[in-house]
Chains A and B, each alone.
Chain A
Amino acid sequence: MKLAPLTGRGNYFEDFRVGNVLRHARGKTVEPLEQVWITNVTMNTAEGHFNEHLMKSSPWGRRLGFGGVTISLCIGLAAEDTAENALMELGLDKIRLKAPVFHGDTLYCYSEVLEVRDADRPDAGIVRFRHYGVNQDDKHVFEGERVVLLKRRAPWAGK
């Protein structure tokens, strides 16, 4: 199986320069599907994420999204551009949930390149991104850093 045609040609390690800011093309409306499926599959037992009856009488008046879903979706929206040619996700840091996300909200994501450096293997390099998530009202709901091991073009683009 040829590998390189399965993933993008413009998102290898060498394509990222410190200071670049990427606006990712797609947004995603967060349905109860994502919220409740991920909350329940990961066995998050906090019923504020899945008991609408209870939350109707809360200060928010409705179910709150699980922060893990906000983080996963914002990073997911950035993934085709920043993770498609990843060999391994290395870590996250300074993850901040800045405003609640509700069912039916729409998320958009932006990414900034903070650092590029060599890895301990010659066919890949390490990039540190800061991802930003905003909702349909341009409210900044998420921010966080992500460190990822990305393929270098020369050893991988011909495979």
Chain B
Amino acid sequence: MTDDFRSRAKLIPKGNRYEDFQVGRVFEHHWGRTITESETAQFSTLTLHFNPHYYNAAYARAHGHPGIVANPMLVFTTVFGLSVEDLSEGGGPFLGVNELTFYQPVYPGDTLRARSRVLDRRLSDTHKGFGIVTWHTEGLNQRDELAIDFKRTNLVRQRTA
């Protein structure tokens, strides 16, 4: 019988907790992602982001670009998304972002990867069992050039003893 697979299974846990975020610790995040033309066009139209640079190739070329430009909000959410398993999947709401800079355009075919450094952490006074952590996250392209960076703050669950 194989019906006991659930009792034999060991959970493979995901995510980190407050205690894992020593100030200065660097995370090189997983996977990377090549931005595609269909995704940036679909993202822009689903979010009603009506700037033709993101879905009209002739318009983008007339402004000096090689073709469609990746919507910067897709660049942001992709770099953010790549960081989630390491930084925030462990639980706790996303509170805010400061000092986000877009350094250069990203084009379909460019590949983004993300890395983050822990800037600050403290225990929450109002949310028992949680701390507040701030990370500096960078999004780099395939030439290792900085495309975007930002500081993100989350409530992060403490490890239960």
List 10 contacting pairs A-B, 8 Å CB cutoff, sorted by A: A43-B33, A43-B81, A43-B82, A46-B84, A68-B76, A72-B49, A75-B49, A86-B51, A91-B102, A96-B95
Q: Does chain A have a CB within 8 A of B125?
A: no
By the criterion of a CB under 8 Å from any partner CB, how many residues of chain B are at the interface? 45
Question: What residues on B are CB-neighbors of A79 within 8 Å?
Answer: 47-51
Q: Give A97 to B154 CA distance when docked, in angstroms.
A: 11
Which of A1-9, A112-120, A132-140 lines the interface with chain B? A1-9
Q: Does chain A have a CB within 8 A of B99?
A: yes
Tell me which of A26, A33, A93 contacts B46 (CB under 8 A): A33
Count chain A CB atoms within 10 A of each CB in B14, B31, B53, B72 and give the residue with the most: B72
Q: Does chain A have a CB within 8 A of B141?
A: no
Q: Does chain B have a CB within 8 A of A92?
A: yes
Q: Give A144 to B150 CA distance when docked, in angstroms.
A: 14
Tell me which of B39, B47, B82, B94 contacts A72 (CB under 8 A): B47
Task: Count contacts between A and B, CB distance < 8 Å.
Answer: 132
Question: What residues on A are CB-neighbors of B27 within 8 Å?
Answer: none
Question: What residues on A are CB-neighbors of B58 within 8 Å?
Answer: 1
On whether A38 and B88 interact (CB within 8 A), knowing A3-B62, A90-B102, the answer reads no
Nearest residue (CB) in A for B78 is A42
Give the dominant DSSP class at A's interface.
mixed
Q: Give A38 to B74 CA distance when docked, in angstroms.
A: 9
Q: Does chain A have a CB within 8 A of B101?
A: yes
Q: Give A60 to B82 CA distance when docked, in angstroms.
A: 25
Does the CB pair B84–A95 fall under 8 Å?
no
Nearest residue (CB) in A for B102 is A89
Does the CB pair A92–B81 fall under 8 Å?
no
Tell me which of A1, A33, A34, A89 contacts B72 (CB under 8 A): A89
Q: Give A30 to B76 CA distance when docked, in angstroms.
A: 19
Q: Give A41 to B99 CA distance when docked, in angstroms.
A: 24
On whether A38 and B43 interact (CB within 8 A), knowing A72-B77, A75-B73, the answer reads yes
Does the CB pair B59–A1 fall under 8 Å?
yes
Question: What residues on B are CB-neighbors of A100 within 8 Å?
Answer: 93
Does the CB pair A46–B43 fall under 8 Å?
no
